[in-house]
Amino acid sequence: MEDQWRISEYDPRWKSLFREVASRLRESLGDSAVRIDHVGSTSVAGLAAKPIIDIQISVRNYDDISTYQTKIENVGFVLREENPDRTKRYFREIPGNRRTHVHVREAGSYSEQVTLLFRDFLRAHPDDCLRYAQEKHRLMELYRGERPKYVEGKGPIVWDILQKAHNWSQEIGWRPSTTDE
């Protein structure tokens, strides 16, 4: 298995990797999933990223885990119950498979929407995309063996970009595009 704790230049294959997994998830989840979206840095063409596919599944009833947990696990993912973020359920690949993060969020929730807005803003703003990539490279160099510090270090630029994305969303009347699947 390749070392995925690094920043890679954008790889156009990430889109097809997402589509392959999303297709299997859609088949298993059916109408349980309102949306299945490619999110995170690998979803933005041209953006350097850790080579880990992030998938966001939006569900109507987040609290009723019985409507989606087994269906996601049947595709080859395991619920990570130690996840401290109460706005999402987090699944990871079965060990030995390609690293993939699956985030389940309630459709229409703030956390679902802000994730999609961040992605869409970066897709539409190459200068901010480049600025974000440069900061990720800098932080990876600085905190190579300290994942929590790397993640924490991204906070200021993420919030700066989110502020710009918020303003942009109001200017254009942003709404999430149709699902990426």
Q: Residue 42 contacts by C-beta under 8 Å, 6 or more apart in sequence? A: 11, 14, 18, 49, 51, 52, 53, 54
DSSP class of 180: -
Candidate CATH numbers 2.30.30.100, 2.160.10.10, 3.30.420.10, 3.30.460.10; the one for domain 13-172: 3.30.460.10
Q: What is the mean pLDDT of the segment spanning 73-100? A: 95
Q: What is the mean pLDDT of the segment spanning 34-59? A: 97
SS3 94: coil
Q: What is the mean pLDDT of the chain?
A: 95
* pTM of the entire predicted model: 0.94
**For 115-119, 120-124, 163-167, 174-178, which range has the lowest pLDDT when averaged over its residues?**
174-178
SS3 138: helix
User: Degrees (nearest 5) of the Cα angle 90, 111, 108?
Assistant: 110
pLDDT tens digit string along 116-162? 999 999 999 999 999 999 999 999 999 988 889 999 999 999 999 99
